């Protein structure tokens, strides 16, 4: 019997992928050689101390996303990299990065706990000003991430090498949601999510050049914003173009109907010159775009995937910077 791939079904349904980025306060990335089990932290290379820590954090509902990462050298590296990306209050532009060089993965749980307690870590090294690109290749969790994620990782790695982008590090990553958009990726430290990628669109993302209209098809949203606000942000990206990526942003839901079919959202941006602009937008549930699909290859039941349109958007307030005479 032919197996259906969830990403093929999503593309055939022309699913709008905006508003699917996960909002996390902290990402903890631990280098760990592949292969990984379907439940990544049950993999054979993951020590019990780290497994327990991840379970404890989940039970306590800490706003932390734990990921395993690897590159082509992880299996023979003589150290283990630990990366922590944390969103400060009022950050508005992404995450701050801390980088640690551990002797081995056995030290990961202890290092993470010390970071959580605010202690200084002897393993810390200067965090390089790099972009860390995570591509989900976690095929044991979902077949689409093997079928589409693995070849995309290979081509992306070659692209970055050919372009000489020394400030971009590319990683295989364990599952972070959205298999049906494979190949899917997170761009850290910004925390933006992308899906349905090809090499040309990746090149645009890396260089902030090219046709911004492609964002209608490949942009899942900015993880520092609530999901409803991610829809508004995409509209503003299409309006402002690549300049948008130099701005800080924050958003909130002003009001919402009981059935969530209508949402009034607000997004405030700050430009590098210090000027503020506040936009409000009315989001309306689009019954035509709302689809019923299996959210992953292994899903036993279909899921109703509600989609919204920006019915109206207006500039609610602005504050321009006064130039000193």
- pLDDT exceeds 70 at position 157: yes
Given a cut of 60, whether residue 26 has pLDDT beyond it is yes
Whole-number percent of the chain with pLDDT over 70: 87
pLDDT, averaged across the chain: 87
Could you tell me which residues come within 8 angstroms of residue 148 by beta carbon, excluding any fewer than 6 positions away? 7, 182, 183
pTM: 0.91
Q: What is the pLDDT of residue 12?
A: 65
Residues 6+ apart with CB under 8 A from 261: 284, 285
Quick: pLDDT tens for 281-307. Answer: 999 998 887 776 665 556 567 767 788
pLDDT at 288: 80
**Where does the chain have alpha helices with state H?**
6-12, 48-59, 108-116, 143-144, 150-163, 199-207, 215-218, 227-240
pLDDT at 230: 95
In this predicted structure, what is the pLDDT of residue 142?
Answer: 57
What is the percent of the chain where pLDDT is above 90? 63
DSSP structural state of residue 310: E
Which has the minimum average pLDDT: 129-143, 193-207, 261-275, 305-319?
A: 129-143
Q: Which of 7-21, 167-181, 264-278, 304-318 has the lowest mean pLDDT?
A: 7-21
Q: In this predicted structure, which of 30-44, 229-243, 284-298 has the lowest mean pLDDT?
A: 284-298
CA 186/CA 223 separation, integer angstroms: 9
Query: Residue 246: is its pLDDT beyond 90?
Result: yes
φ/ψ of 10, rounded to 5, equals -65, -40
Angle formed at CA 153 by CA 91 and CA 185, multiple of 5 degrees = 30
Report the distance separating Cα 79 and Cα 320, nearest Å: 49
Query: Confidence band (pLDDT; 50, 70, 90) for 2?
Result: very low
How far is Cα 298 from Cα 294, in angstroms, rounded to an integer? Answer: 8
What integer pLDDT is reported at residue 325 of this predicted model? 43
Task: Give the pLDDT confidence of 42-101 residue by residue, as tens digits.
Answer: 899 999 999 999 999 999 999 999 999 999 888 888 899 999 999 977 668 899 999 999
Q: Which is it for the CA torsion 40, 219, 147, 152, positive or negative?
A: negative
Rounded Cα–Cα distance for residues 193 and 208 (Å):
15
């Amino acid at each position: 019997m032919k197996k259906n791939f969830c990403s093929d079904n999503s593309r055939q349904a022309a699913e709008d992928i905006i508003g699917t980025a996960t909002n996390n306060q902290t990402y903890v990335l631990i280098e760990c050689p592949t292969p990984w089990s379907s439940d990544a932290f049950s993999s054979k290379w993951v020590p019990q101390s780290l497994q327990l820590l991840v379970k404890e954090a989940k039970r306590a509902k800490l706003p932390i996303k734990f990921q395993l990462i690897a590159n082509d050298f992880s299996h023979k590296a003589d150290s283990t990299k630990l990366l922590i990306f944390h969103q400060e209050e009022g950050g508005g532009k992404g995450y701050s990065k801390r980088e640690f060089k551990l002797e081995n993965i056995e030290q990961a749980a202890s290092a993470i706990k010390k970071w959580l307690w605010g202690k200084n870590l002897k393993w810390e090294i200067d965090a390089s000003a790099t972009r860390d690109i995570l591509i989900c290749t976690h095929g044991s969790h979902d077949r689409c991430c093997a079928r589409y994620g693995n070849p995309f990782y290979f081509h992306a790695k070659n692209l970055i090498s050919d372009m000489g982008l020394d400030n971009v590090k590319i990683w295989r990553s364990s599952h972070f949601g959205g298999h049906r958009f494979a190949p899917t990726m997170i761009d850290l430290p910004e925390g933006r999510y992308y899906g349905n990628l090809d090499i040309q669109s990746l090149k645009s993302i890396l260089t902030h050049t090219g046709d911004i209209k492609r964002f209608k098809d490949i942009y899942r949203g900015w993880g520092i914003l609530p999901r409803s606000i991610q829809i508004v942000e995409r509209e503003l990206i299409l309006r402002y173009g690549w300049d948008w990526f130099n701005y800080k942003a924050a958003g909130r839901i002003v009001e919402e109907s009981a059935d969530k079919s209508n949402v009034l959202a607000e997004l405030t941006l700050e430009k590098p010159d210090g000027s503020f602009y506040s936009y409000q937008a009315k989001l309306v549930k689009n019954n035509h775009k709302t689809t019923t699909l299996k959210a992953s290859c292994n899903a036993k039941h279909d899921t109703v995937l509600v989609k919204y349109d920006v019915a109206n958007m207006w500039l609610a307030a602005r504050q321009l910077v006064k130039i000193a005479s």
